Structure formats: C-alpha cells, structure tokens
Amino acid sequence: MNTSQIDEVFAKHSPAQSQNHVNIYQNKSNAWQALHALAQNSRTLTELFEDDRRGEHFALSSCDMYMDFSKQLIDDEVLSALLTLADDCQLSSKINDLLTGKKVNDTENRPALHTALRSPKGKMLIVDGMDVNAQVHDSLAKAKTMVKRIRTGVWRGYAGHAMTDVVNIGVGGSDLGPLMATTALSEWSDTPIRVHFVSNMDGTQLDGLLKVLNPQTTLFIISSKSFGTVDTLSNAKTALGWLMSAHDNKSTILRRHFIGISTRSDKMSQWGIHQSNQLLLWDWVGGRFSMWSVIGLAIAIKIGMDGFYELLSGAHSMDKHFATADFAQNMPVLLGLLGVWNSTFLGINAHSVLPYDGRLSHFPNYLTQLEMESNGKSVTRDGHQVGYDTCPILWGDIGSNAQHAFYQLLHQGTQRVSCDFITSIHRHHQHQMSNAHLSKQHQLSLSNCLAQSQVLAFGNHALPDDLDKNNDDFAKFKQYRGNQPSTTILLDSLNPKTLGSLIALYEHKVYVMSVIWQINPFDQWGVEVGKVMANQLYDVLCNKKGVESFDSSTKTLLDKIQGKF
C-alpha cells in the first residue's frame, strides 16, 4: 500500500470523531493513521469468510510449522497497511541491528545477542572487538563436559555415589525457560536422572523437595545472572544447610554438589562455588532470553547435549527465516504485526495462549514473562510517554484444561480476547504410534483445538443447524457472539528442533512489536523497583524499626505481621 492509497483509506474510513485520535498519533506515519481508520470499520470474521479462499490466503509455512492467521480480523487492505507501517518504522534495519550486535538495549547501553547463543560454531560475530561466537561455544563446550560426567555417573557426591537428582535453583528466566523446555521435551529424555526446579522464595517449594531427596546423590545448579538475586541465594543457602546436616565437610559439599551459572565469577567464588564448577554468562544475555545459554544446563542434562544442540538449531532456523524472508511471508513479522493490530488499533488488550499439548503446559507462563516483561512499557525509546496501548495482558493454559476453566469468558464474556492455538500434527515418537488409544486421544485433542477456534471466530454461525435453532427456554443463554480473533500454529511434531523454532518465533514477535511501538523490550526497570522496596521492608521486618516511613496501609500490615494487633 503506497502513501496515496493510505491517504485515500484514511479519508474513506475515518469517522467524524477520529480527530482526537489524529492528535494522539500526529507524529506517526500515514500508515498508522490509516490503520486506525480501518479499525473503526473492521468487518466481522463471518463477513470476512465469505471469501472461500481466505483459509489458504492468510497462512504460511516455515521451520516445520504452519501458521493460519485467517481468523484474525484483517483483510488485504489491513495487511498491506501493517506491512507499510513496518517499513515506516524501519523494521528491516532494526532486525539487522538486533542480529549484528548493535546496542538495541539503549537504556543499558548493550546489545541483546540471544540469537548469537544459538549460532553454529565458527560463524564469527565480532562485537566490541570480541568474537562472541567463540565465547559462546567455549562456554557450551564446558557445559558439554559437565553434562557427560553427570549423565554417565562420573560426577560423584560426597559419599561416592552417582547423581540421581539435579535441582535447578533460579527465578524468572533462570527458571521458566529451562522448566518449560524440560517439560516439553520429557519424551526425549534418555536418562534416569530426575531434574527438578525451585524458584519460590518462601522456602516451601524447596522444603517439600528436600524431604524426598537423598543428599548423597543430589546436585544443585544455582542459576543467577547477577549471583545476587535474593530469592535464588536464599534457596541455595537452604540447600547448602541441608547437605551440611548430612556431611560436615563444607569444601567437599561445595565441590561435589553445586554448580554455579552467572556473569559474576567473583561472586560465585565468594559463595563457595569451585572454579571448575562455574559456567559463565555475559551481560548481553537477557534473563528471559537466556535458556539458549548455559542457563539451559538442566535441559541438556535431561535430553543430552545432542538434543540441546538440536534445540539451538531449531531456534537458529527461525533466526534465518526472520532475517531473510519477505515480510509478507515472515512468520515473526506477521505475528508481531497482528499483535500490534489487535492491541493498539482494535483495542483488544487481552491475549491467551492455548497449547493443545500437555507437554507445553509451562509454555503460556514462559510467554507471559517474555511478552509482558519485554513490552509492558509506557515510555518510548526517546523518553516520551506513549499515547497508545502496548502489550496486552497475556495468560493461558493447556487447551483442555482451559476449556473447563476460562473459555466461558472467551465465548460469552464481555471482554475481547485474541488467542493463539498451538498443537502438533503428529503427537508421539514413531515407535509409539502403534498404540491406537494414544492415537485416538491425540485426534480428540486436535478436534477440540479446531472446534474452539471455529466457535470463537463465528459464534452461533459455526454451529450445526439443529443446535443453532435451539428454541428452548434457555436459548437466550446459549448465544455465542464469536468474532474473537485467533491464530493457529501447527507443529509437524514437538521435538527439540521445532520447540526451538517455536520459542524463537515468539521472541522475534516480541521484538517486532517493540519496534512498531518504539519501546525497548530488553530492560525491565519495573521489576527492579519492587526489589528495592522489598529490601527496605525486609530490613524493617528484621529490625522492627523504621515503620513510620511507610504509608498507612503498609504500616498497618507491618503491625499486623509483627503481632501488634
């Protein structure tokens, strides 16, 4: 869509009351204004599907996955304007900046090189005079040695026994990514070693786990980029105390039962992690993008280092697609533009991720952090307050669980919600396909996935005539409005490579949205402020002084906790 066409669209569709919005977007491109005008006159999905070719037209394939976005509230005119907006925002050069090590994290003055973490060995990338690729693969080589020692039983505990359990202690990106991927790839595990995850700072999660573990055969991974995260170090101290109660040689305990992963070798050494048990990160590894690095050690222990490299390979395939595909056929670009269209222009400020695959049970939570921590911003890169909606509220669950939980709101509530349905065409390893019952279960899951997206899109129009013409006394309670937009992503099968591609797809979606919104997706100052306040309150609770400096609600709550009522 060229400029004159956009001007024509804006004049044609712009309602009388749009002048206020023109003022809000006065510094935006013509495409931005045209999209706002198009949003005021958006057709329903039922109307849009009068075109029988729509299902094939708004869909594409790449990296062993198929993305159907025909149930989004777009037509060729809207899509053309979105692609023009991407060009106006210089998305192509911004993608190049990300992939070549430019300092795209401007508030912290550093690059965001998570794509370098999955780049093949030998593919040189020089940033600030250093070959990042070489550093990454040196780190992975050390992790590979550790993984082999642990999985083959060479790594022994204080009593001389091989490890049976590995506990990853982390929080945020040091927990959500490895937990999600290890769960998703559980069928690919070829080791009896059990991998556990602990993140909750209140101690109950770890306490319950320690009651069933054997200190002689348990290995702890302390994952903390700064090695100063209170949540993580508190749990690590508890784990150390538990081991010390079983064996009083602290040096042996630390050498044989703890691995540290951080950017800070000095802090790991100060805590007691032996140099040979340290794996290093870099400042440019964002926490929510860190599972591709040695933070993914727990994943590699569970599925083997070859499987971990397959995970990286899948992500790299999506990186190449993102970097080279035309925007009209570019999965991350289109997914990101659709997100902007829904949130910013259509005012759909809730988004649900619905995997119809139990192995992806932690994927919605993972994306909640990825999207909301990245794009939950209200200030542009140049420091101005935004005048438009950015990141929607995101949540989700396994589709079959969600159907019996919150789908009621999706179908008959007052909120407009966009959805992503994710499933795999082939469910099990080939040797399991002979199990007829498992095959039927998978078909049942697929049918539910397709049915839900259909009813969300078309409401009562999707129902068979005998159901749609229900004339009983409760007919008015059985109306489904439809017109809830969704995208369906089909994986050929869920394996390490396709999981890597899927995660990278959403990472790049987030970046595309940030470019259009002109915000920095790589900092998280909103997270930091809570930590500062928590430290102040922790001092008050421990010392029982300084209560007077807080607001009346907090003072009353502190009094209640300290037993003054």
d(CA 149, CA 219): 12
CB 427, CB 418: distance < 8 Å: no
d(CA 365, CA 499): 15
Output the six-digit token pair for 286.
Answer: 């964002």
Supply the Cα-derived Rg of the chain in whole angstroms. Answer: 26
CB 302, CB 189: distance < 8 Å: yes
d(CA 490, CA 165): 34
CA within 13 Å, CB half, 109: 1
Per-residue CA distances from 224 to 13, 30, 110 (Å): 52, 45, 19
What is the residue whose two structure tokens read 């359990």? 165
d(CA 253, CA 256): 5
Can 384 be counted among the known catalytic residues?
A: no
CB atoms inside a 10 Å sphere around CB 78 = 24
What is the residue whose two structure tokens read 């992939």? 99
d(CA 36, CA 18): 9
Q: Which of 147, 137, 97 lies closest to 117, judged by CA?
A: 137
What is the residue whose two structure tokens read 């909301």? 372
DSSP E strands in 126-283: the ranges are: 126-127, 130-131, 165-169, 194-198, 218-223, 258-262, 278-280
- Choosing from 225, 373, 442, 497, the catalytic residue is 373
Q: Which of 349, 487, 463, 489 lies closest to 417, judged by CA?
A: 349
Q: Which of 359, 345, 387, 331 lies closest to 511, judged by CA?
A: 331
Output the six-digit token pair for 288.
Answer: 């929510």
Can 373 be counted among the known catalytic residues?
A: yes
CA within 13 Å, CB half, 73: 28
Q: Would strands 126-127 and 130-131 be described as parallel, antiparallel, or unpaired? A: antiparallel
Output the six-digit token pair for 249.
Answer: 């040689």
Can 161 be counted among the known catalytic residues?
A: no
- Choosing from 404, 431, 476, 545, the catalytic residue is 404
CB 298, CB 195: distance < 8 Å: yes
Residue 437 sits at φ, ψ, to 5 deg, of -65, -45
Fill in the amino acid letter for 532: V
What is the residue whose two structure tokens read 């009896």? 192
- Alpha-carbon dihedral 151, 156, 159, 163, rounded to 10 degrees: -20
Q: Which residues pair with 61 in a beta bridge?
A: 66
CB 519, CB 336: distance < 8 Å: no
Collapsing DSSP states into helix, strand and coil, what is residue 335? helix
Residue 221 sits at φ, ψ, to 5 deg, of -110, 120
What is the residue whose two structure tokens read 């749609």? 468
- Choosing from 531, 544, 560, 564, the catalytic residue is 531
The catalytic residue positions are 373, 404, 531
